[in-house]
Amino acid sequence: MCGVNGIFAYRNAANDPSPGELAATRDRMAARGPDGVGEWWSECRRCALGHRRLAIQDPHPRANQPMVSDDGRFVVTFNGQIYNHPALRTELEAEGARYRTSCDTETLLHLYARRGPDMVKALRGMFAFAIWDVERRGLFLARDPYGIKPLYTCDDGWTFRFASQVKALLAGGAVSRDPEPAGVVGFHLFGSVPEPFSLYRDIRALPAGHSQWIDAAGPREPKPYVCLAAVLADGAAAPAPAHELNERVRAAAGESVAAHLLADVEVGVFLSAGVDSGAMLGLMRDAGAHDIRALTLSFEEYAGTAEDEAPLAAQAAARYGARHEIRRVGQHEFTADLPAILEAMDQPSIDGVNTWFVAKAAKEAGLKVALSGLGGDELLAGYPSFADLPAWRRRYGLMARLPGLGALARLTLQAVAPGLLRERPKAAGMLEHAGTWGGAYLLRRGLFLPHELAALMDEGEAREGLHRLGLTRRFAAALRPDPGSDVGRVCALESSFYLRTQLLRDADWAGLAHGVEIRPPLVDIALLRALASSLPAITPGAGKRALATAPRVALPSAISERAKTGFTVPTGAWMANAARRPNAPESLVRKGLASRGWSQLVFAGQANTAANSAGIAA
Q: Report the alpha-carbon angle 73-76-77, nearest 5.
A: 155
In a domain, 62, yes or no: yes
* Any domain includes 349: no
Domain region containing 599: 573-613
Peptide bond into 222 cis (omega under 30): no
Q: Is 184 helix (H, G, I), strand (E, B) or coil?
A: helix
Q: Which of 226, 261, 282 is the last residue of a domain?
A: 226
Three-state secondary-structure class, residue 78: strand
Question: Do the domain assignments include residue 204?
Answer: yes
pLDDT of 599 > 90? The answer is no
Is 495 a domain residue? no
Mean pLDDT to the nearest integer, 380-389: 96
Instruction: Read off the pLDDT of residues 482-522 as tens digits, 9 standing for 90 and up.
Output: 999 999 999 999 999 999 999 999 999 999 999 999 999 99
Residue 203 lies in a domain: yes
User: Pick from 204, 226, 248: which residue ends a domain?
Assistant: 226
Q: How far is CA 374 from the centre of its chain?
A: 10
Instruction: Give CA–CA dist 46/615, Å, rounded.
Output: 29
Task: Please indicate whether residue 95 or residue 456 has the higher confidence score (pLDDT).
Answer: 95
Strand pairing report for 267-270 and 159-163: unpaired
Contact in structure between 297 and 327 (CB atoms under 8 Å): yes
Q: Kindly give, in sequence order, each residue whose CB lies less than 8 Å from that of residue 302, ignoring residues fewer than 6 positions away.
A: 308, 309, 570
Reported as a single tens digit per residue, the pLDDT across 84-143 is 999 999 999 999 999 999 999 999 999 999 999 999 999 999 999 999 999 999 999 999
- 155: which strand partners? 160
Q: Which helix (H) or strand (E) holds 358?
A: helix 353-364
- CATH number of the domain residue 51 falls in: 3.60.20.10
What is the predicted pLDDT for the residue at 573? 74
Distance CA 363, CA 518 (A): 12
Judged by DSSP in three states, 13 sits in: coil
pLDDT of residue 583: 55
SS3 of the chain: helix, strand, coil, percent, to 5: 50, 15, 35
pTM: 0.93
Residues 6+ apart with CB under 8 A from 477: none
Say if residues 410 and 443 touch (Cβ distance below 8 Å).
Answer: no
User: What is the predicted pLDDT for the residue at 373?
Assistant: 97
**Distance separating alpha carbons of residues 405 and 414, to the nearest angstrom:** 14
Identify the CA nearest to 185 among candidates 456, 441, 444, 436. 456
DSSP letter string, 312-336 = HHHHHHHHTT-EEEEEEE-HHHHHH
* Arithmetic mean of pLDDT over the chain: 91
Is 544 inside any structural domain? Answer: no
Strand partners, 51: 4, 38
Q: Which amino acid is at 489?
A: R
What's the structural domain count of the chain?
Answer: 2
Q: Is residue 119 part of a domain?
A: yes
> How many angstroms separate the CA atoms of 214 and 7, rounded?
11
Residue 479 lies in a domain: no
pLDDT at 566: 60
Q: What is the pLDDT of residue 305?
A: 83
Q: Give the end of a domain, one of 210, 226, 242.
A: 226
